Amino acid sequence: YRTAQLRLSRGHLVRPALTQFERGEEGFVPRTHAVDTEERPPMREIAEYAERWAA
């Protein structure tokens, strides 16, 4: 996620959110939750992956 943000050059990170709807007494009520994201290393830097794809 962070990599995509850097590539888009937006300057600041947008914190992702998920909005779900729950039934309320008078209809549906939106509930918004923060979605945590974690940057992973590039696949070429993971030894197990590199060994598996080495020719």
d(CA 34, CA 19): 9
- 14-31 pLDDT, tens digit per residue, is 668 889 999 999 999 999
pLDDT score for 26: 93
Is this structure's pTM higher than 0.75? no
Domain locations in the chain as residue ranges: 2-53
DSSP sequence for the chain = -HHHHHHHT-SSPPPPEEEEEEEETTEEEEEEEE----PPPPGGG-HHHHHHH--
pLDDT attached to residue 5: 59
pLDDT tens digits, 34-45: 887 677 788 888
